[in-house]
Amino acid sequence: MGRIVLEQVTKSFGDVTVIPPLDLTIEDGEFAVFVGPSGCGKSTLLRLIAGLEDVTSGVIRIDGHDATAISPAKRGLAMVFQSYALYPHMSVRKNIAFPLRMAGLDRAEQDRRVEQAAAVLNLTDYLDRRPGQLSGGQRQRVAIGRAIVREPAAFLFDEPLSNLDAALRVGMRLEISELHKRLETTMIYVTHDQVEAMTMADKIVVLRAGFIEQVGSPLDLYRAPRNLFVAGFIGSPKMNLISGAEAAKHNAHTIGIRPEHISVHPTEGAWSGVVAVSEHLGSDTFFHVHDTGLGDTITVRADGEVGLRHGDRIYMTPRADVIHRFDEQGLRIA
Amino acid sequence: MARAVTTQRKIINTTVAWMVGLLIFFPILWTILTSFKTEATAIADPPVWFFFDWTLDNYRVVQARSDYSRFLWNSIIIAGGSTFLGMLIAIPAAWSMAFVPSKRTKDILLWMLSTKMLPAVGVLYPIYLIFIKFGLLDTRIGLTIVLMFINLPIMVWMLYTYFKEIPGEILEASRMDGAGLREEILYVLTPMAIPGIASTVLLNVILAWNEAFWTLNLTAAKAAPLTAFIASYSSPEGLFYAKLSAASTMAIAPILILGWFSQKQLVRGLTFGAVK
């Protein structure tokens, strides 16, 4: 069981308030992702839940018990660090067994659980190696192994994939998602990568400067961003935000339209501009369009086969039903 | 960083390295050779290298005239004691500076180092007076304390750099894994810090062993270590080179042997952090 509740939690370092009063509930078995730009307080929030930092005020409850003043060792949570934080002087086997040894389990039980975790994570052949002899991906697996053996109430991941190369990252992303499906344990995952957030989360918590901007499922956030910040943060490439006369036509201060919701035509459309950069990804092509009279560069997604190039004139038409409208304060207009 | 090295190049490099090595080692070699000569051969001009009547007389005279083992014992007590006492203070100090630094930690470190820039003779008078006042002159305990303080900045600095290299996240990971403070120190911190602690101990034993300024000024007969033992064989007149060399050889032998067996540790200690 791992229901985690934060009530009016705050954190200050000296005079600097990193987390203003914040309420959040993470349900048992949920995969929650904290996402936001660097310095938004997402890692601090995770460390508060872990107990590695003390809250300045407020209450943290784990499974209904007040855990605010409990040491990290006693909270029953497991954490995977960005740097993996393996014990360099211990073999992989000893690394994974360490939490079990601390819990005072007997050797036979320790061995059984280590073997089991190693089998799940494809580490059986590496049990007698030192962390220094492993690749980045293998070290990451050891760190996860060390976390799963003790069967914690919840897993905390602090940007665990940011040290891996792009291909490995996609693979590990899938493995962590599968692990969550199998274990059905609460997981809290911190990342600045909105793709990781969208693909893994049951619930995304978007943070900015310690404030929660929006909480919701990936598709909630994609379909109905609560404000301009979330609109700009979720989705790749970023949503086009247009203000001025074009927005006024829709009775809004700013309108937002995602690149994938604009159709492209070589000769006719609602808007027109000049292609500045075209990025061909094979399946898709992204055009960055200048001189549209709409303000900033407009990004559109087109089919991979569209053959427009730098300097070509392009015509674009937004899909009317997916135009997002925002008021002067940047809040969504329903 | 592989570079193609020709055989000729290798020979030149090796020769130069040996020459530099011999140049540095030469005074010690000459001392050892001289210790086996008679006083007359020792000052012979031109100097005699290897072909002389090797004799152990000097060692006999030195051993008869003064009790080597007493000096040796003093050296061991003073060098070992000051290092042990120093580590008792330096480990917690470096620990807190590395893992729970405050705003002033950097300043304190620099201030500590600055005390090493002070010429020792500048504080000789006050320390001498303090020693008289507390009856510490010519006592092992007094010398142990002084040498501990003299070397403390180096111990804290060395340990601090070692501890700094231990990533805080590993300690946090152990906390998340259920380790209390005792287990964290016992199973995670200490094993990772042992190479650093070992080379700090080693270096400070050597520094304290070789320390001559304070040992010569603050001891007379009872607490005198091997440095004083050597000094007692120099005299303004008469022939004493061979006996002085014998005394020197006896004094440096233990530390030379210790240094030889631990040179790997020592080099690592001195160059730590220079290359990742």
Interchain contact, A73 vs B177, CB within 8 Å: yes
State mean pLDDT over B154-170: 88
pLDDT band at B274 (very low <50, low <70, confident <90, very high): very low
> Residue A280 pLDDT > 60, yes or no?
yes
DSSP conformation class of A331: B
Fold observed for domain A237-326: OB fold (Dihydrolipoamide Acetyltransferase, E2P) (2.40.50)
DSSP string, A2-58: --EEEEEEEEEETTEEEEEEEEEEE-TT-EEEEE-STTSSHHHHHHHHHTSS--SEE
Other C-beta atoms closer than 10 Å to the C-beta of B14 total 10
Interchain contact, A52 vs B187, CB within 8 Å: no
Distance between CA A221 and CA A199 in Å, rounded?
13
State mean pLDDT over B100-124: 86
pLDDT band at A291 (very low <50, low <70, confident <90, very high): confident
Closest residue, chain B, to A155 (C-alpha): B176
Q: Which residues of A touch B (CB under 8 A)?
A: 50-52, 71-74, 77-79, 81-83, 85-89, 98-99, 102-103, 146, 150, 156
Q: Is A333 in contact with A326 (CB distance < 8 Å)?
A: yes
Out of B172, B187, B191, name the one closest to residue A85 (CB).
B172
Interchain contact, A88 vs B179, CB within 8 Å: no
Q: Is A287 in contact with A299 (CB distance < 8 Å)?
A: yes
Interchain contact, A87 vs B170, CB within 8 Å: yes
Nearest Cα to Cα of residue A192 among A145, A241, A157: A157
Give the pLDDT score at A203: 95
Both tokens of residue A136? Answer: 């980045």
Closest residue, chain B, to A80 (C-alpha): B173
**Proportion of chain A above pLDDT 90, given as a percent:** 62
Residue A179 dihedral angles phi and psi, to the nearest 5°:
-60, -40
| Residue that wins the pLDDT comparison between A118 and B212 | A118
Interchain contact, A150 vs B178, CB within 8 Å: yes
Distance between CA A242 and CA A252 in Å, rounded?
10
Residue A254 dihedral angles phi and psi, to the nearest 5°:
-135, 140
Interchain contact, B172 vs A89, CB within 8 Å: no
Dihedral (CA of A146, A148, A149, A154) sign: positive
Q: pLDDT tens digit string along A242-268? A: 988 888 888 999 999 999 999 998 888
Q: pLDDT tens digit string along B197-247? A: 888 888 888 888 888 888 878 777 777 888 887 887 776 666 778 888 888
Reported ipTM = 0.84
Mutation for B interface: A43, A46, A52, A159, most B CBs within 10 A: A52
pLDDT band at A49 (very low <50, low <70, confident <90, very high): very high
Q: Is A203 in contact with A32 (CB distance < 8 Å)?
A: yes
Out of A51, A81, A146, name the one closest to residue B169 (CB).
A81
Q: pLDDT tens digit string along B27-36? A: 988 888 888 8
Domain spans, chain B: 7-59, 66-232
Q: Give kind and range of the element (H or E) at residue B66.
A: none
Distance between CA A306 and CA B93 in Å, rounded?
67
State mean pLDDT over A96-103: 94
Distance between CA B115 and CA B117 in Å, rounded?
5
Out of A73, A83, A88, name the one closest to residue B175 (CB).
A73
Report chain B residues whose CB lies below 8 A from the CB of A99. Answer: 177-178
- Given the candidates 3.30.1360.120, 3.40.50.2000, 3.30.565.10, 1.10.3720.10, the CATH classification of the domain at B66-232 is 1.10.3720.10
Distance between CA A45 and CA A32 in Å, rounded?
13
Out of B167, B169, B177, name the one closest to residue A99 (CB).
B177
Dihedral class, residue B69 (left if φ above 0, else alpha if ψ from -120 to 50, else beta): alpha
pLDDT band at A87 (very low <50, low <70, confident <90, very high): very high
Helix A92-102 and helix A136-148: axis angle, to 10°? 20
Distance between CA A36 and CA B121 in Å, rounded?
60
pLDDT band at B270 (very low <50, low <70, confident <90, very high): low
Rg (CA), chain A: 23
Interchain contact, B176 vs A79, CB within 8 Å: yes
Secondary structure class of A319 (helix, strand, coil)? coil
List B187's β-bridge partners, or say none. Answer: none
Distance between CA B243 and CA B59 in Å, rounded?
7
Return all residues near A133 (Cβ < 8 A) that are at least 6 apart.
none
Out of B172, B180, B188, name the one closest to residue A87 (CB).
B188
C-alpha distance from B167 to closest chain A C-alpha (Å): 8
Q: What is the mean pLDDT of chain A?
A: 91
Q: Which residues of B touch A (CB under 8 A)?
A: 167, 169-170, 172-180, 183, 187-188, 191-192
> Residue B23 pLDDT > 80, yes or no?
yes
> Residue B2 pLDDT > 70, yes or no?
no
> Residue B67 pLDDT > 90, yes or no?
no
C-alpha distance from A198 to closest chain B C-alpha (Å): 27
Superfamily of A4-230 according to CATH: P-loop containing nucleotide triphosphate hydrolases (3.40.50.300)
**Proportion of chain A above pLDDT 70, given as a percent:** 100
Q: Is B56 in contact with B38 (CB distance < 8 Å)?
A: no
State mean pLDDT over A221-232: 93
Domain spans, chain A: 4-230, 237-326
Q: Which of A317-331, B90-104, B243-257 has the highest mean pLDDT?
A: A317-331
Q: Is A129 in contact with A78 (CB distance < 8 Å)?
A: no
Interchain contact, A98 vs B177, CB within 8 Å: yes
Q: Is A157 in contact with A189 (CB distance < 8 Å)?
A: yes
Distance between CA B238 and CA B234 in Å, rounded?
10
Distance between CA A279 and CA A295 in Å, rounded?
21
> Residue B1 pLDDT > 60, yes or no?
no
- Write the single-letter amino acid at A254: T
Report chain B residues whose CB lies below 8 A from the CB of A81. Answer: 169, 172-173
Q: Is B237 in contact with B173 (CB distance < 8 Å)?
A: no
C-alpha distance from B183 to closest chain A C-alpha (Å): 8
Strands A313-318, A262-265: pairing kind: antiparallel
